[in-house]
Structure 1
Amino acid sequence: MLLLVTGATGKVGQVLLERLLGDPRWAGATIRALCHNRAVAAHPWVETIHGSIADADTVRQAVAGCTHVLHMATVKEDARQAMDVSVKGMFWLLEAFRTSPTARQFLLVSGDCAVGHCFVAYDEPVTETSERRPYPGVYALSKVLEEVMLEQYYIQYGINGCCLRAPWIMEKDDFRHALSFGPDQFGGPDWDTLISPADRARHHAEGKVPVLLDSRGDPLKRNFIHVTDLAEAIVSALDHPRASRQLFNVAMNRPVDYAAIAAHLRASRGLAGVRIRTPFHSNWLDNSKARQLLDWEPGYDPIRLVDAAFAYQRAADDPRKVWYAG
């Protein structure tokens, strides 16, 4: 197996490479990383090609001889770069893949922004057949375009592919910082749109955690996945016969309930919660298809996620790095 990976130096890519390189089932496999501004750590099974994913010649060189392509590179709200990566890059990858005599499987990691995650209301669990309803912005649009392009290559050219749609990806102490009212907050929400600066400063000083309420006034339920669970889902989909031309939601079995998390933190760490109204919607990203067809099961539930985040202690050589804001 020769696996081309885009986004290999990112949060998911680093964990996935470690997972594959440490698994004897993949002994002898080679991983090729297509890198733009960064480089992967040296390893005898890893080779690197430097260049832009928006350049057709670079992509053809990267795909040449590969059996598998895993597209994880992404860009947030930067329109020019997002179109380079998610439109040009996706197109050139698919073109090189479909014309390659060695290509066996194309895997795409997408996001639940394609179905609007907490910005769009659904009256039932969000499944793989739910309508794509992205929220405004180029990032959500880019994920819809990627998913649709992959599906069109199934239809037009009959390629073998698989799409894994993930919600907000957590690692290490990410979730603790997602609950912070301080300047160390990771991701969202934007507190300045929900509470006053004085209230935010007071909550931070008092060590409180947010109990986010949805648009109906009920505790918000939002979907997450731990980075190791997403890496396992990718490994499960590799060459899986039931993954062919399929879209899978990969998330925790239950979304995070902010009231339940706050109650757990009060009981376990003595942290008080504060209720905050939001315009967000509670949604449930249904992962039953992935669990049934891929024999995949997430290892993290909401309580393990929060406990692991609050217990994580960073070493001096482990600085906190925000790959992109949420």
Structure 2
Amino acid sequence: MLILVTGATGKVGRHFIAGLLDDPRFPKARIRALCHNRLCPETDRVEVARGSIADRRVVSEALADVTHVVHLATCKETPDDVIDVTVKGLFWLLEEFRASATASQFILIGGDASMGHFYYRHDGPITEKVPHQAYPGCYALSKVLEEVMLEQFGIQYGLNGCCLRAPWIMEKDDFKYTLSFGDNVFGGPVWKSLVPQADAKRYAENGTVPLLRDADGRPLKRNFVHVDDLVSAILAAIDNPRATRQLFNISMDSPVDYGEVAAYLARTRGLASVDIASQFHSNWMDNSKAKYLLNWRPEYDMEKLIDSAWQYERSGDDPRVVWYPG
């Protein structure tokens, strides 16, 4: 088993490689990490290929003798790159994969941006059968195109593909910084821009957290997944016949409720909260299909997500670096 991992130096890529190498189910599995700007360390089971998936020659060479692909590389809101990298890059990967004599399984990590996450109102749980509806911007559009392209390669050529659709992925102290009123906020909304400057400074200093409300005035419900749970889902999908040509929502069992977050942080850490109005919509990703077909279970709930983020202590050689906004 030789697994090509794109986006190997990213949050999910690093955790996936470590998880696979430690998993007794895959003692002979080897990794080929396709890296572009950053490189991961090579070992007796990890080799590095370098280049961009936008280059067909790079993709062709990287796929030599590969049996599995775990495709993680993507772009955010970068219109100059998104079509070449995310769309054309996936096309080259699928084209070369379907022509390969060794190819066995292609796993794509999708995102809830393809469903518009909290941009659109949903009248019920978001299952895998809900139609695509990207929110404005090139990133969400690219996530729709990825899922559709993989699905069509299955229809056109019988390619054994599987898409694991994840919401916002957390690790280490990420969740703590999604709630910061300071300059160190991770992702969006940028809370300091939604309150007066003096208030934002005070909230940042005393650890006040935002209690985001949805368009109906209720505490917003938003989906998250911890990177460890996403990695366990990828490992559960590898060579699983029940994953063939399937789409799975990979998320926590229930969305994070900002009201419950505020209450828990007040009770356990004495932190205050402040209401933030929005026109966003609460939603609930239904992960029951993955639980049923893959026998997968997430380990993180809201309390574990919060506690792990607030208890995480960074070492001197582990600076908080945000490679992209969210």
Look up the match of 2:175.
175
What is the one-letter code of the residue matched to 1:298?
P
Match of 2:96 in 1: 96
Deviating above 3 A after TM superposition, structure 1's stretches of 4 or more consecutive aligned residues are none
> 1 CA distance for matches of 2:244 and 2:174?
33
The CA distance in 2 between the partners of 1:283 and 1:198, in whole Å, is: 32
Native 8 Å contact 1:3 1:67 kept in 2: yes
Aligned counterpart, 1:202: 202
Q: Distance in 2 between matches of 1:186 and 1:64?
A: 38
Cα distance in 2 for partners of 1:220, 1:174 equals: 19
| Residue aligned with 2:307, SS | helix
Q: Which residue of 2 aligns with 1:237?
A: 237
Deviation at 1:36, TM superposition (A): 1.0
Q: What is the CA-CA distance between 1:91 and the residue it aligns to?
A: 0.4
2:7 corresponds to: 7
Residue 47 (structure 1) shift: 1.0
The answer for the alignment partner of 2:27 in structure 1 is 27
- Aligned equivalents of 1:301 and 1:47: distance in 2? 35
Give deviations 1:249-296, integer Å, cap 9, x for gaps: 000001000111111111101111111111111000110100110000
CA–CA distance in 2 between the matches of 1:87 and 1:277?
A: 35
Partner residue, 1:213? 213
CA contact (8 A) 2:181 2:190 kept: no
- Unpaired runs of 5+ residues, structure 2, are none
Q: What secondary structure sits across from 1:4 in the alignment?
A: strand
* Larger mean Cα displacement after TM superposition, 77-86 or 269-278: 77-86
* Structure 1 segments unaligned to the other structure (5+ residues): none
Look up the match of 1:74. 74
- Residue 59 in structure 1 maps to residue 65 in structure 2: no
The answer to whether the 8 Å contact 1:161/1:246 transfers is yes
Q: Give the C-alpha shift of residue 64 in structure 1.
A: 1.6
TM-score normalised over the length of structure 2: 0.98
Task: Report what 1:135 is aligned to.
Answer: 135
Distance apart, 1:193 and its partner CA: 5.0
Query: What is the RMSD of the two structures over their aligned residues, measured on CA atoms?
Result: 1.0
Distance (Å, rounded) in 1 between the aligned partners of 2:150 and 2:171: 28
Determine the structure 1 residue equivalent to 2:295.
Answer: 295
Residue 31 of structure 1 and its aligned partner are, at CA, apart by 0.6
Looking at structure 2, the residues matched to 154 and 205 of structure 1 have their Cα atoms a distance apart, in angstroms, of 52
Give the residue type in structure 1 aligned to 2:31: I
- The match for 2:48 is 48
Correspondence for 2:228: 228
Does the CA-based 8 Å contact 1:194-1:277 persist in structure 2?
Answer: no
- How big is the shift at 1:190? 2.2
Shift in Å at residue 192 of structure 1?
5.2
Distance 1:65 1:14 in 2: 22
- Equivalent residues of 2:182, 2:192 under 8 A apart: no
Once the 2 structures are TM-superposed, how far is the Cα of residue 24 of structure 1 from its aligned partner?
Answer: 2.3
Cα distance per residue 1:209-248 (max 9 Å; x no partner): 1111001000000000001100111000001110000000
Mapping of 1:250-261 within 5 angstroms? 250-261=250-261
Residue 271 of structure 1 aligns with which residue? Answer: 271
The 3-state SS of whatever aligns with 1:107 is strand
Tell me, what secondary structure is at the counterpart of 2:271? Answer: coil
Residue 166 of structure 2 is matched in structure 1 by: 166
Identity score, percent: 59
Partner-residue secondary structure (3-state), 1:210: strand
SS in 1 for 2:49: strand
Distance 1:295 1:25 in 2: 15
Partner amino acid, structure 1, of 2:176: R
CA distance in 1, matches of 2:202, 2:176: 18
SS at match of 1:21: helix
The answer on whether the counterparts of 1:151 and 1:245 sit within 8 Å (CA) in structure 2 is yes
Contact 2:181 2:192 in 1 (8 A): no
Q: Is the 8 A contact 2:42 2:48 kept in 1?
A: no
